[in-house]
């Protein structure tokens, strides 16, 4: 496995070693010891899976302490534009964002630590996403930031089409950076 820090070093892209042959492929999707060797010491307690159609934008979501969540995201089918926004007020990268394109083909993961908002946009016809979380879902501590907040200025690959949003995401608050 290869662990590559992004422009915000606490957000890490993970590239597994994939063994391919005429039958298909095999790889270790998660190995605690290898992840710790790559600088990820998070204990994950919940796995989530979502399925979305092309043009769906989910996010930007986060949970407040004491239920803040680190996430480990991967795409099982399709492709997504995955985004992490640093919302740690004392961080030198506060208000900055990074993105990675995660696909079923490249098998990459993205590790997003606590203190970040997370969202993704579905680029393929459909996409199935699996992600591990370091804390349980706590709806009273859940918050959202508007996906199109002008302060953040995220360059989503929308190709001129409005995204498909949930009512919660359409009504999300702006980033107060």
pLDDT tens string 70-126: 999 999 999 999 999 999 999 999 999 999 999 999 999 999 999 999 999 999 999
Q: Catalytic positions, please?
A: 61, 131
pLDDT tens string 31-59: 999 999 999 999 999 999 999 999 999 99
E-state strands within 134-176: 142-144
pTM higher than the cut 0.85 = yes
Q: Rg of the chain's alpha carbons, rounded to an integer?
A: 16
Given the structure tokens 């508007």, which residue do they identify? 146
What sign for the dihedral angle of Cα 156, 161, 162, 166?
negative
Distance CA 145, CA 60 (A): 5
What token pair was written down for 96? 């900055």
Domains recognised in the chain with CATH numbers:
2-170 (2.60.120.10)
What token pair was written down for 46? 């919940």
């Amino acid at each position: 496995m290869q662990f590559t820090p992004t422009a915000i070093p606490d957000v890490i892209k993970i590239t597994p070693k994939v063994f391919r042959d005429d039958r298909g492929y095999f790889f270790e999707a998660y190995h605690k010891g290898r992840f710790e060797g790559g600088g990820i010491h998070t204990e994950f307690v919940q796995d989530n899976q979502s399925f979305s159609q092309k043009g769906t934008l989910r996010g930007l979501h986060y949970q407040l302490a004491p239920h803040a969540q680190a996430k480990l995201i991967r795409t099982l089918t399709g492709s997504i534009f995955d985004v992490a926004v640093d919302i740690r007020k004392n961080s030198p990268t506060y208000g900055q964002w990074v993105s990675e394109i995660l696909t079923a083909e490249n098998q990459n993961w993205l590790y997003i630590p606590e203190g970040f908002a997370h969202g993704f946009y579905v680029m393929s016809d459909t996409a199935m996403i699996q992600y591990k979380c370091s804390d349980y879902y706590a709806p009273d501590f859940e918050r959202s930031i508007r996906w199109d907040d002008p302060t953040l200025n995220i360059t989503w690959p929308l190709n001129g089409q409005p995204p498909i949003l949930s009512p919660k995401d359409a009504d999300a608050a702006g980033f107060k950076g």
